[in-house]
Structures are given as structure tokens and as C-alpha cells.
Amino acid sequence: MNKAVLKVSVTSLAKSFDRQPVLRDVNLQVYAGEVVVILGPSGSGKTTLLRSLNFLEQPDSGDIEVCGHHIRVQQGKALSRAEKHEITHLRQKTAMVFQSFNLFPHKSALENVTEGLISVRKLHKDQANQRGHALLKQVGLAEKADSYPAKLSGGQKQRVAIARGLAMDPEVIFFDEPTSALDPELRDEVLTVMRDLAKAGMTMIVVTHELRFAREVADRVIFMEGGVVIANEEPEMY
């Protein structure tokens, strides 16, 4: 972990849905190479927090700085063009892994991984495929490049989703309950890939109920309840 480099900084973040506060004055700092696990009961605002970090959800107010891109959201004030620009840059430096995988069903594992490389990064197909194969190998799926999602297990689909995120060379990866949709026997293969990423120095924010993963891999564990962070501690503390 590099305490000199702040990758994610959230200050006084607030968000309501239909006048119901879902995030209230959330503050969070994550340093380069740090793995932060967010625990908390269903409905406590974990997903809303993660989605706010890359503006999949627009917060009502607060400061968000991710990978050097800063956006200040003020109640009732529209984002400026410059801030929208910052959001675009911020998104290019982050990846998000969802509980539900979100793969393209009509694309093979390889095509799912290379899609962004070709359409966003404008790589030639050969180069994209070369990188795609390497990433599938990294997540243990070298043999599945030509398989379609319907022919993959949940654990394999989630590993393809992680490879797809890695393809864009993110500086930070957000995971939202990456193993919650999986049968217990398929969870370890995904957690192993995540553990390897953590070891390789990736900055990660992980919403999960996997306590063993939190204990073994997290540098810090955050507990949320009712839209607030109620504790922020080293994993040995619990």
C-alpha cells in the first residue's frame, strides 16, 4: 500500500431516493494498493456508494475524487461541462464488477473481454485478441475463449467479467458482491482471482459478505448501516 497516493476520496457524500436518505455524510479514503472491504446489511447503502464513485448514480452532494479526478456535487446544481469531462476520465480509470456479471450473451468469452479494447481503445482485432487471451489465461479460462456465457458456470462468467474489467487497465476496481450470485462451491475460484489481484497491488473496494476474504485480504474493513459508515478498522479488530 502506498499511503502517499490517494486513489479514492469521498467527503460528506449524501444521496436520497424519493426523499429517503440512503447515504448520509459518508467519508472514505482509499490509498493506492489498498484493499477495502465494505460490510453491512442489505439496504445499508453499499451499492449506492459504489455506484456513486463512478457516477453510475448521481449523488446529491459531496466531494468525490477518484484517480486524481475531482467532482464536487452540490445540492440542486447541475454538473458543469468540465465536471462531466472529469467523470469520463474517472470512469476510464476504474472498473466495476457486478453481482450479476453483466456479460453480453451473444458474444464469446474472448469477445466480451476485447469489446472495450476494440470499441473504446481502438485496438486492432489481433492486438485485442492477444491481450484478451492473456487476460483469460490470468483468470484461469484460457480454454474458454470461444465459449458463450450460456455455456459457462457462474464462477467462470464472473471471471470473464473480471478479465473484461482488467482489459481497460483500471487503477481501481469496484466489486459489488461478486460472489453473491454463485453457488458456494464456485465462490473460491472468483475469490482466488481477486486475492491474486490484491497481491499484485491492485487498489480494490469490495462489497461482500465473505468474512474470510475480508479477514485474509482486506487492509481495512468498513461497516455501513443505514447509509452511514459506523466503523472503519483493520480486519484483525473483529
Residue 80 neighbours by CB under 8 Å, 6+ apart: none
Element containing residue 50 per DSSP (H, E): helix 46-53
> How many Cβ atoms from other residues are within 10 Å of residue 128's Cβ?
22
The one-letter code for the residue type at 172 is V
- Cα of 145 vs its chain's centroid, Å: 23
User: 11-50: which residues touch ligand ADP (CB under 6 A)?
Assistant: 17-18, 22, 40, 42-48
Tell me how far apart the alpha carbons of residues 76 and 59 are, in angstroms, rounded to a whole number: 11
User: 22-41: which residues touch Mg ion (CB under 5 A)?
Assistant: none
Q: Which does 17 bind (CB under 5 to 8 A by kind): Mg ion, ligand ADP, none?
A: ligand ADP
Looking at beta carbons only, is 165 or 178 nearer to Mg ion? 178
Phi, psi of 64 (to 5 degrees): -125, 125
Looking at beta carbons only, is 97 or 145 nearer to Mg ion? 97
Looking at beta carbons only, is 20 or 75 nearer to Mg ion? 20
x/- site string to ligand ADP, residues 178 to 217, per CB under 6 A? Answer: ----------------------------------------
Residues at the interface with ligand ADP (CB under 6 A): 17-18, 22, 40, 42-48
